Amino acid sequence: MSTRIDSTFAALSDPTRRAILTMLLEDDMAVTDVAEPFDMSLAAISKHLTVLSRAGLISQEKRGRVKWCKLEPDAMRDASVWMQGFGQFEPVDLDGLERFLEKELGD
């Protein structure tokens, strides 16, 4: 479990990856659509997607010639349970997290 939590927190440590997760809250997206709002190469976005995928936060599926990304919200469960174990954290409010991220990212 420790490795999974480490991967989750490492993936969430980058603002680009957090922004990608926020985008995927709405719906599945093609990789090219995920890359569109960012000022970086498709290869750089693919590296971010690989980190998110390895952490289990997203899944990727090829449909025809297009690669799609899907949020896997249950992947944060172990990290949430770990944080709650300290007793000073409230249960993770994913809707509140989404609102916060949208406010901070200006969406």
**Residue owning tokens 């927190």:** 9
Q: What is the DSSP string of 13-71?
A: TSHHHHHHHHHHTTS-EEHHHHHTTSSS-HHHHHHHHHHHHHTTSEEEEEETTEEEEEE
What is the reported pLDDT for 59?
96
The mean pLDDT of 2-14, rounded to a whole number, is 89
CATH number of the domain residue 74 falls in: 1.10.10.10
What is the reported pLDDT for 107?
54
Residue 43 phi/psi, 5-degree rounding, is -65, -40
How does residue 90 score in pLDDT terms, banded at 50, 70 and 90? low
Domain encompassing residue 7 = 2-105
Count the domains in the chain: 1
